[in-house]
Amino acid sequence: MPTGTSIAAAMTRPARPLALAALAALLAPARAEGSFSIAALFGNGMTLQAGASPSARVWGWSLPGASIAVYQRSFNTSGGAWGRPSLACAPAARAGDGLWVAELPPTPAGGPYRLEFYATAAGASLANATLDWLWFGDVFLYSGQSNMGIPTHAVLGPHNESAWEMAQYLNRGYYGARALQLPQGVVAASPQAQISTHSFQLGWTAFSNVSLTDFSAVAAFTTAGFLDVAGQFNNHSAGAIQAEWGGTSINIWMPAAAVAQCPTPFAQTTPTVDEGPSTPTTLDSVAYNALIAPLTVGPLAIKGVVWCERRAARAACGARRIARSARVNLPPVHPPPPPPSAAKRSRRK
């Protein structure tokens, strides 16, 4: 959506499903040939979720009924070459839209890895594609508005006496730490399967204070902190996906079903923009449809969600509904043990 176009104007244009040819056009030629494509979300050098809960997934589109063999290789550092391929999975493209979803075997944090895709239909080859220099680690989604959108360069400015130390914190050698910045201000009237590649601001980017200059400071430093707390510094693997829009109310980030569960309708008002190029008119689900729904196609396996919502309009109800929706794609959350009873506390004294 061009800068300055309001959500209301964009909503007057009916959403059109992307054809296979259009999906293929959004991808680099090396990754798509003919009637086969990998979703634009995935790219060389990205970080996929490590472990088995949940297991990493990659998806795309092909001819309905086509078979896709997915092979995984690890990089042999001593030999300086990719190792032997092993069959990771062999999904089939479903009838109708031709969606295929590859659920990868549990892979520990680290890398790099390569994924090779071989698509066939009726015994004939359709296309081959590769994703190179992939890492496995914990992947986090950073979303919402307000402080989530403050860029790293604003935090590392000359006014900050700790700027040098903070910059070095992002330069510690997180070789497998990658960041993806989704576009701000993109809307859709219905849930979309793709995020157009021309809207990506950075692509999958390695961690450093230079490469992350326009990336969310909260996302950058929190991801680095997660690596340290988890004791994964030696593995250097994590992923940070930023999807935020300053000044927006929580209902534009909620799926329609979640909005409907809140007691009263959200006000369709124009908020004061904290950050961003334009002042949007708040309409239910439009940011979810454009930016979050494409992550749920597989769905994308992630470790957790970090959310910032400063606007008071129904934030509590919205946050609860978003959390319940997100748990579909997250590992189970174990509740903390109950606090000791009053009787036990008195005995301790």
Positions in the chain short of pLDDT 50: 1-34, 233-234, 270-282, 313, 323-337, 342-346, 348-349
The pLDDT assigned to 329 comes to 41
The pLDDT assigned to 73 comes to 94
> E strands of the chain, at which residues?
36-38, 47-49, 57-62, 67-76, 81-82, 86-89, 99-103, 110-121, 124-144, 176-181, 205-206, 237-244, 304-308
In a domain, 295, yes or no: yes
Which of these, 129, 172, 117, 141, lies nearest to 47 by C-alpha position?
141
In a domain, 338, yes or no: no
In a domain, 55, yes or no: yes
What residue type is assigned to position 57 of the chain? R
Where in the sequence is the domain holding 69, given as residue range(s)?
Answer: 19-326
In a domain, 344, yes or no: no
- Enter the pTM of the model: 0.76
In a domain, 227, yes or no: yes
The pLDDT assigned to 232 comes to 54
The pLDDT assigned to 154 comes to 84
Counting the structural domains of the chain, the total is 1
In a domain, 14, yes or no: no
The pLDDT assigned to 15 comes to 31
In a domain, 335, yes or no: no
In a domain, 75, yes or no: yes
Cα gap 15→25, rounded to integer Å: 18
Locate 195 and state its tokens: 């995020």
- Number of residues assigned to the chain: 349
